[in-house]
């Protein structure tokens, strides 16, 4: 089952897609979000956000600064103030 993932900055909607898993740099440690994750709200620290499109694929890394992540019924929403796109590997 894919996970609905949205990455939003004040300037634009960076990503809105179905992915396998996202690893988020939470304020109290990194956590991975898969489909069916319990409702969860976390502050984020500056760091890499890794997006796994399919199980076992090479992750795409996005450098994010300042934000929060919200996991709800509708999937994962990451609100970041600034996003730097790294080389899209995978």
Partner 1 sequence: MASLKELKNRINSVKSTQKITKAKQMVAAAKLRRAQAAAEAARPYGQRLSAVMASLAGKVTGDGAPLLLRGTGSDQRHLLVVVNTDKGLCGALNANIVKAAKVKARELLAQGKDVSFFLVGKKGRAPIRRDHADAVARQFDTSEVRNPGFAEARAIADELLTMFAEGRFDVAHLVFPVFKSALSQDPVVQQLIPVAASQGEAGAAGSGVVDYEPGEEEILADLLPRFVRTQVFAALLELAASEQGASMTAMDNATRNAGDLINRLTIQYNRSRQAAITTELVEIIAGAEAL
Kindly list the residues in this chain that would bind partner 1 in the complex (CB under 8 A).
6, 8-13, 26-28, 38-43, 66-68, 70-74, 77, 79, 81-82
C-beta of residue 4 within 8 angstroms of C-beta of residue 18: yes
How far, in Å, CA of 66 to CA of 56, rounded? 28
State the minimum distance, in angstroms, from the CB of residue 20 to partner 1. 21
Q: Please give the DSSP secondary-structure letter assigned to residue 59.
A: P
Report the nearest approach of partner 1 to the CB of residue 16 (Å): 9
Cβ proximity to partner 1, 10 vs 56, nearer residue: 10
CB of 24 to partner 1, least distance (A): 11
Q: Which residues pair with 3 in a beta bridge?
A: 19
């Amino acid at each position: 089952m894919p996970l609905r993932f949205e990455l939003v900055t004040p300037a634009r909607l960076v990503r809105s897609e179905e992915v396998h898993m996202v690893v988020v740099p939470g304020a109290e440690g990194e956590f991975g979000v898969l489909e069916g994750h319990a409702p969860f709200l976390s502050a984020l620290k500056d760091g890499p956000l890794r997006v796994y499109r399919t199980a076992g694929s090479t992750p795409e890394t996005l450098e994010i600064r300042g934000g929060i992540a919200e996991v709800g019924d509708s999937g994962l929403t990451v609100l970041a103030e600034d996003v730097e796109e790294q080389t899209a590997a995978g």
